[in-house]
Amino acid sequence: MIGVFDSGLGGLSVLAALADVLPRADFIYYADTAHVPYGEKDDLFIQRRVLAIGNELVADGCTLLVVACNTATAAAVQALRDAHPGVAVVGVEPGIKPAAANSITRKIGVLVTPSTARSGRLQRLIADHAQGVEVRVESCPDWATRVESLNLDDPELIADVRHRITTLLTWGADRIVLGCTHYSFLAPVMLPLIAGKASLIEGADAVARQTQRLAGCSAQGSGRLILKASAYPERLRAALPALGLEHLAARLAPPG
Ligand code: DGL
């Protein structure tokens, strides 16, 4: 059993990539909807939540944990690894490395939550992997909360996304890193703006490959999915079609 978690719906973008490469694996997806957004909380709070969720998923029988949240990875992946030395833990990080390696203009933009923006882990990633490429970090308060409300057509949200993308393009970025798993669901707004000028870098495929490498016998199951949430668990199933992930519903274990 593989446990995948996020503050809310964002990690479903990672779960979709995991389900593609591990069709027989059994998954529990946990959304911490009682505490979303993490991006506006302090590190200690996020660490407490990550440890509590990790304990619950391990008690449920998970032998591999995927932190499908950049903010939780930056704040708490080490604490989670320390708490469960026998469990493989995969985190998700903004794709600075591939973006920098492939940038022609040598300028990349990174869209992240406020918490990730101020994290030492992001600063280290940039220092270790930017290789002289200029990095502009955009903290995007509210985006995760708005994705969470599934109001993806909200004109205010669309205007803000357009404004930030246009700013990055005008500055010269040719790679735009989505440093929050919720932002994958805003890609349909971004793609027409960046067409021919820049590409989006998402972390989900890299996480899926790394999880596949570590999965071992966790890859073998009956392809089931259990959805759990700290508040409004029924919203998770209902969100799948709105997020273009209806195909995941076929994996859901029958209730009871
Ligand atoms: N989805 C999370 C991430 O990847 C954070 C969203 C939030 O709760 O602020 O950073």
SS (H, E, C) 136-160: EEEECCCHHHHHHCCCCCCHHHHHH
| Ligand 1 midpoint to CA 171 (Å) | 25
Query: Taking the model in full, what pTM does it have?
Result: 0.96
Per-10-residue mean pLDDT for the chain, 256 residues long?
A: 98 98 97 96 97 98 97 97 97 97 98 95 96 97 95 95 98 98 97 98 96 93 97 94 96 73
pLDDT of 79: 98
Q: How far apart are CA 69 and CA 42, in angstroms?
A: 15
Can you tell me which atom of ligand 1 is nearest the CA of 7?
A: 8
User: What order do you get walking across the sheet with 199-201 strand by strand?
Assistant: 134-139, 107-112, 175-178, 199-201
Topology classification of domain 96-202: Rossmann fold (3.40.50)
Phi, psi of 63 (to 5 degrees): -110, 0
Q: Give, for ligand 1, the residue of 71, 111, 146, 207 to mutate: max count of ligand atoms closer than 8 Å to Cβ.
A: 71
Topology classification of domain 2-92+205-249: Rossmann fold (3.40.50)
Can you tell me which atom of ligand 1 is nearest the CA of 116?
A: 10
47 CB near ligand 1 (under 6 Å): no
Residue 59 structure tokens: 């008690």
Nearest CA, atom 2, ligand 1: 69
Nearest CA, atom 9, ligand 1: 39
For the chain, where do the domains classified as CATH 3.40.50.1860 start and end?
2-92+205-249, 96-202
Closest listed residue to residue 5, CA positions, set 60, 85, 82, 86: 60
218 CB near ligand 1 (under 6 Å): no
pLDDT of 255: 58
Q: Which residues are part of the catalytic machinery?
A: 69, 180
pLDDT of 256: 52
